[in-house]
Structure 1
Amino acid sequence: MLHPKASPFSKLEQDEGLSKITVEYSRPSAKGRTLFGNQPNGEPGLVPYGRIWRVGANESTKITFSNDVLVGGYPLAKGTYALYAFPEEKLWEIVFHKNTSHWGDGRDNYNADEDALRITVEPSTISGFQESFLISFDDIDHNGTYMKWNWGTTQISIPIHFDTKAIMAVQIAEKLSTSPTAQTYYEIARYYQEQNINRAEALTFVDKAIELGGDTYYFHRVRSLILADLKNYEEAIRAAKISMKLAEKEGKDEFVRLNKNNIDRWITTMTNKN
């Protein structure tokens, strides 16, 4: 007979640049119990120190990386791993395990030789109290994030890094070799501008986008930003004015304001420079 689970299943998907991280786990609740280490009477708590923990409840927690990754600064191949931990008072060992078939923590069937990666992290104490065990991602940008585990007043933070530039370089080469469109050139130019790289090439690509796709407020906006990055403020202002006029026609008030703010800032920069 079906019945509600005490530790409900949860699935978390986090896009990270051009990569994705997926976590599947169950979320136990504290329910007034001592979570890590020993109880006040000396008896083991829910997760005793020095013993393997499945990082949640029920079956083993699974984590999937869509691309090769650095975890805590160490390389880990793309794929799916069982996620385990060996908590201690001062330091935790975090394990990415190749055998995903174990139920729970594997106990006697767990074999350290099947570990893909072990790293050591220091737990921290948070304010407030997290009743149900929570895995989340924070401090996210194109290249990295931190995976956070919160339960009770304990937090584990694990740095994760993808080489998004290398992944993007492969994709750009593929896109440029197969009938690129105006949107293709625009997206590459925008990426280069956002990442502060390949500025001259970015200008060539956005010009190609305008040549193929015509005048749009977003093409000219990115063109203005690239020109400003190249310190060609006069041309940047001209491009921003074109973008602002096109945005006005489409009722894109936000982009009218963004362009106007940039124009004012670049005029100030030119005035101060002179």
Structure 2
Amino acid sequence: MKKILITGALLLTFAMGSAQVKTPQASPSASVEQTVGLTDVKIEYSRPSARGRAVYGELVPFGRLWRTGANANTTISFQDDVMIDGKTLAAGKYALYTQPKADSWDIIFYTDTNNWGLPQQWDEKKVALRTTVKPEFLNNSIETLTIAMNDLSNNYGHLQIAWEKTMVSLKVEVPTEKIATKSIEAVLAGPSASDLFGAARYYYQSDMDLKKALTWMNQAIEKTPEGKDVPFYFLRQKSLIQAKMGDKKGAIETAKQSLAASEKANNADYVKMNKDSIQEWSKK
């Protein structure tokens, strides 16, 4: 009986040790993804609630740096360079810190995002951009901290931080016109050399229309900028298409060009492949 009791106690201890208690987080995490124009913006933060407490001036003291959330760094990521208050903020991920005051807020984009709350030692060199905005008074009270990109247009959005009866809004300009114009010009100019190369290789590998594949490959080669060498892998692909079409003489000539280009580029793999192919095609 004693043995049974001991065994039972050990099993109970093991079960208790391996069990995981699940309870809700005091400040649940949130992730916001928003496209502004053509630029993707992502915000990751933890959301504390007021729970009857006075927030600004007490829970979040005026004049002190604030992590702008709870737990780990609140972060914001921009896919492209953006403009804030006439200054450029490079594409990338930043910790979002703020310094709330009664009549103004400093908003800070900090390059080091691997902190739990504020950095142990603040480094001004890691401040990518700092700007000041005026807080707005809200008629309704926001119980849980909310950060989002709102009031969107093709060319800008507003980074808004709202909690209790205060909201700050920061205009973030995105390079939609630049991206769209570049895209339009690229499409209207026709496929790139890489597009043509990819299409030709696919047709070759899939045993489709080889004449069309050869045409595309020639067009890709023609798009080589003046003064630049034709890529050795372009020439290699053209030689393979020619050989598959039965033009061994043309394939050998192109392979020799690819061999010279690959030797110049010090690419041993392509040097070997071209030499092997030239030897193989010369026998037939």
TM-score (norm 1): 0.60
Q: Where does 1:37-52 land on structure 2 (aligned, <5 Å)? A: 37=57, 45-52=58-65
Whose Rg is larger? 2
Correspondent of 2:95 among 67, 77, 82: 82
Kept after mapping to 1: 8 A contact 2:43/2:148: no
Distance in 2 (CA, whole Å) between partners of 1:176 and 1:32 is: 59
Equivalent residues, number? 172
Among 46, 53, 66, the residue aligned to 2:79: 66
Corresponding residue for 2:142? Answer: 130
Equivalent position SS for 2:181: helix
* Identical pairs, percent: 38
Q: Deviations over 1:103-162 (max 9, x none)?
A: 1122x3222221000000111101110000001222211101111111000000000111
Show the counterpart of 1:30.
50
**Post-superposition shift, 1:177?**
3.4
> Does the Cα contact within 8 Å between 1:102 and 1:109 map onto a contact in 2?
no
Following TM superposition, by how much is the alpha carbon of 1:46 offset from its aligned partner in structure 2, in angstroms? 0.9
In the alignment, what sits opposite 1:103? 116
- Residue number among 169, 187, 190 corresponding to 1:175 in the alignment: 187
What residue number does 1:21 align with?
41
Conservation of the 8 A alpha-carbon contact between 1:137 and 1:146: yes
How well do the aligned residues superpose, as a CA RMSD in angstroms? 1.5
| Residue identity matched to 1:145 | G
Q: TM-score, normalised by structure 2?
A: 0.58
C-alpha contact 1:97 1:114 (8 A) present in aligned 2: yes
Letter in 2 for 1:116: A
**Equivalent residues in 2 for 1:232-251, closer than 5 Å:** none
80, 92, 106: which one aligns with 2:105: 92
Correspondence list, 1:183-222, <5 A: none
Q: Which runs of 5+ in 1 are unaligned?
A: 38-44, 181-274
| Amino acid in structure 1 at the alignment position of 2:110 | H
Moved over 3 A (4+): 177-180
Residue aligning to 1:204: none
2:225 corresponds to which residue?
none
Please give the alpha-carbon distance, in whole angstroms, between the structure 1 residues aligned to 2:88 and 2:65: 23
CA distance in 2, matches of 1:36, 1:155: 11
